[in-house]
Amino acid sequence: MTPHKGALFFAPNRTKRVPPPHRIFLYLPMRQAFTLPELLLVLALAAILLGIAIPPLSAALDRIEVAAAASHIAAAHQRARLMAVTQSIVAVLSVDSLSLTIHQRGFAMPLWSEAGPAAHRVSLAGPSRQFTFSPEGFSMGLSNATLRLARGSATRTVIVSRLGRIRVTR
- Per mean pLDDT, which of 6-15, 52-61, 100-109 is the most reliable? 100-109
Q: Where are the domains of the chain?
A: 63-169
> Quick one: pLDDT at residue 113?
95
Q: What is the largest CA-CA distance in the chain?
A: 111
Please give the average per-residue pLDDT across 21-45, as a whole number: 76
CA nearest to 128, candidates 84, 73, 170, 87: 73
**E strands in the chain:** 91-95, 99-104, 110-115, 123-125, 129-133, 139-140, 145-151, 154-160, 166-169
In this predicted structure, the answer to whether residue 140 has a pLDDT above a threshold of 90 is: no
Name the percent of the chain lying above pLDDT 90: 58
In this predicted structure, the answer to whether residue 98 has a pLDDT above a threshold of 80 is: yes
Q: Which amino acid is at 107?
A: F
Q: What is the pLDDT of residues 108-124, one digit of tens each?
A: 899 999 999 999 999 99
Just give the CATH number of 63-169: 3.55.40.10
